[in-house]
Amino acid sequence: MQVFLFDETFDGLLTCVFEAYRQKCFPEKLLPYNAVLPLFTSHATNIQTDTHKATRVWHVLHDKLSDQACYQLLCAWFSEDADCASLVFRVIQKVVDNDMSVEGNLSDEDILALWQLAKKVSKEQLHLIQFVRFQKTVDDIYFAPVNPVYNALPLTLSHFGDRFADQKWIIYDMGRGYGYFYDLNSITEITLNWDEHFTQGQLKASALADDEKLLQTMWQKYFKALTIQERLNPRLHRQHMPRRFWRYLTEKQSL
């Protein structure tokens, strides 16, 4: 069994594709550098990420696939599924090797599996866009905690960058311990000190601006006053607003 070892980045995966064609050696598995090798591994190759090579592969994919299909590749990658790297590699190989478009061939097991993964991650991306709630901090940065099932946060950055281009913001994935900071010019990946900034998974009250606390209270009261008790449908409510998002929704916090 041929195995490629890489750094678990998307550029690293695309570099693996480039090297596979350059070396004419196609791995059965893509694994992280520190992974335990499968029992019947005959040869393992360390692949060093090269952004130039990755960009060349991505341009080829853009030429052979629709924008939607390229987006699905990214979605499948961000699923963090145990075998997603090998799956995406196999699909890319089929795209490159075929003169005809294969993106709609759902009779192919790999393409169907990738499409199903992409659908789940795309749905999570939409949920993030719908349910992000920003809180204004004492230093005039708008902070939003999230905890998605899939690593869909990077897929939302273009939306938030366009939608909130006039204010500084941080969207932070609490479960994965990283986030993105927009400083009015660019978006940068960051990590925050947990003990310094959070208590029980929430941003410390001392970090919130005074007017933010007032606005949160007003919004909670408005939400409660607007609710018509006779028309409550908890099941439908949970269907459209999954309970796992409630922890970070201002309107769901107790008054």
Q: What is the pTM of this model?
A: 0.86
pLDDT of residue 205: 81
Count the domains in the chain: 2
More confident residue, 227 or 54: 54
- Given 124, 146, 166, which residue is the final one in a domain? 124
* 43 and 8 in a common domain: yes
* 109 and 8 in a common domain: yes
- Given 93, 108, 124, which residue is the final one in a domain? 124
Task: Write down the H helix ranges in the chain.
Answer: 10-23, 51-64, 67-77, 84-97, 109-131, 157-163, 194-197, 210-226, 234-240
* 112 and 25 in a common domain: yes
Q: Which two tokens stand for residue 167?
A: 């204010």
- Reported confidence tier of residue 14, pLDDT bands at 50, 70, 90: very high
Mean pLDDT over 156-183 rounds to: 96
* 51 and 81 in a common domain: yes
* 88 and 6 in a common domain: yes
Q: How many CB atoms lie within 10 A of CB 66?
A: 12
* 213 and 150 in a common domain: yes
- Reported confidence tier of residue 201, pLDDT bands at 50, 70, 90: low
Mean pLDDT over 76-83 rounds to: 94
* 235 and 166 in a common domain: yes
d(CA 158, CA 148): 17
* 137 and 120 in a common domain: no
- Given 97, 124, 151, which residue is the final one in a domain? 124
pLDDT in tens, 126-161: 999 999 999 999 999 999 999 999 999 999 999 999
Please give the single-letter amino acid code of residue 86.
S
pLDDT in tens, 80-100: 998 999 999 999 999 999 988
| Dihedral sign for Cα atoms in the order 215, 221, 227, 228 | negative
* 86 and 113 in a common domain: yes
Q: Is the pLDDT of residue 76 over 90?
A: yes
d(CA 49, CA 36): 20
Closest CA to 65 of 13, 140, 115: 115
Q: Is the pLDDT of residue 255 over 50?
A: no
Q: Residue 247: which domain range?
A: 132-252
